[in-house]
Amino acid sequence: MAYITKVANGWRAQVERNGERRSATRDTKSEVVQWAAEVEAEL
């Protein structure tokens, strides 16, 4: 499940699955949504 939030310098996505957590910050919401979908597919 991805949690997407607005932060001061852009957008942050936090993905957690099977106890493994990854996060990233991107400039636009669409970029962070795409990143989160790719990471969820990997995990």
- Residue 2 near residue 11, CB atoms below 8 Å: no
pLDDT reported for residue 43: 83
Domain coordinates in residue numbering, the chain? 2-42
- Residue 13 near residue 34, CB atoms below 8 Å: no
Type and span of the H or E element at 11? strand 10-17
Distance CA 26, CA 21 (A): 17
pLDDT per residue as tens, the chain (43 positions): 899 999 999 999 999 988 999 999 999 999 999 999 999 998 8
Rounded to two decimals, the pTM is: 0.87
